[in-house]
Structure 1
């Protein structure tokens, strides 16, 4: 028993010393240990103060006026497409099919009712989007720098507000949209690459009699609204 007690005293002393050491360490972590080596004042400006000072000298009314002007004139500043004006009337047909360069994957329903990712179209497959969706509207593509084409767009769109979309290759589409009270769109590269638009003015669309191709007709001057209407479905 004496040996056991002796060991117990040693154990108690060890615990006490460990606790004291931990307390000392904990207290030391909160103490200011002073500075070692030279120090310098921070000379870099406070960026928050610099931003406030910079903003304080700005004429915000002038900035807002400039931004509003940019927004109002945005459609005037869109770069023009250089598309020739048609010298004769001609119709051609465009096959919009393309060949997939890589597999197309999607969730496929399994026999047990679950879904798993799988290939639905393999690379190399030729796809015609017109087999899956048919556009409802026809496109009228015009160059607004030519006054006669602008007038043509105004008249034809007024007669066919629902099934005709006006596409502008050059000029200010915003001005025409304001006059029409309807949306007017600026031409994009795919109108030429995929739809085969080569001249203005042109009508482009899909007929029920030729559902797999896009019919594109460009018209020579002088422009007759009735003639163009005969090409609409």
Structure 2
């Protein structure tokens, strides 16, 4: 963002430093009135036409089918492979508060520049995140064994590939999916199976070899 501001400032500086000259530049072609289409109005118009044509039910079915397929088989998280070489590291979840924050009554609970570690404020946090490729039977077994070891209420099973719904039905327990690779990117995970668990005031990340 700072780069954009810098470029904008330079551009404004250059523009204001140039001498202003007024004059008749002549006609270079026909001019037309700019007409902007109201996007929402355009969408509603198309929906009304589809309804009047009797196609709205068909569109609803196609939308529902597309949504169902995406839920059943989300796009795999790119760049994740089966663990070749096991490794482990620590992840510090601390953040620097970008601006002073207050509640609806004006009471400040975080000041700008303050470094906050969420684990200090959540002393009872004990979740174990388990990342797997749902297409690999060995990894699914590993995840289920982890949930038996730590308890289903404590273990969060997360797929990076495969069908979370299908795996859930087959194993009779909850599986999530790392949409857009948000969590694996945050923790730097590139191999699965992998686990993330609390270790003091940091998180221990492990890419496990089976």
Match of 1:79, SS state, is coil
Aligned to 1:131: 120
TM-score by length of 1: 0.58
Contact residue 135 and residue 205 of structure 1 kept, 8 A: no
Aligned to 2:160: 169
Larger Rg: 1
Aligned to 2:133: 143
CA distance in 1, matches of 2:109, 2:48: 57
TM-score by length of 2: 0.63
Consecutive aligned runs of 4 or more in structure 1 exceeding 4 Å deviation:
50-54, 59-65
| Structure 2 residues not aligned, in runs of 5+ | 1-45
Matching of residues 1-233 of structure 1 within 5 Å: 54-55=50-51, 57-58=53-54, 62-63=58-59, 65-82=61-78, 83-106=80-103, 117-133=106-122, 134-157=124-147, 160-188=151-179, 189-206=181-198, 210-220=199-209, 223=210
Q: RMSD in angstroms over aligned alpha carbons?
A: 2.9
Q: Structure 1 residues 71 and 149 mapped into 2: Cα distance closer, same or farther (>3 Å)? A: same
**Deviations 1:125-171 (Å, cap 9, x if unpaired)?**
11100000143321110012333223333444456322211011111
Contact residue 50 and residue 56 of structure 2 kept, 8 A: no
CA distance in 1, matches of 2:72, 2:189: 22
Contact residue 169 and residue 186 of structure 1 kept, 8 A: yes
CA distance in 2, matches of 1:53, 1:193: 43
Contact residue 72 and residue 163 of structure 2 kept, 8 A: yes
Q: Structure 1 residues 118 and 161 mapped into 2: Cα distance closer, same or farther (>3 Å)? A: closer
Aligned to 2:36: none
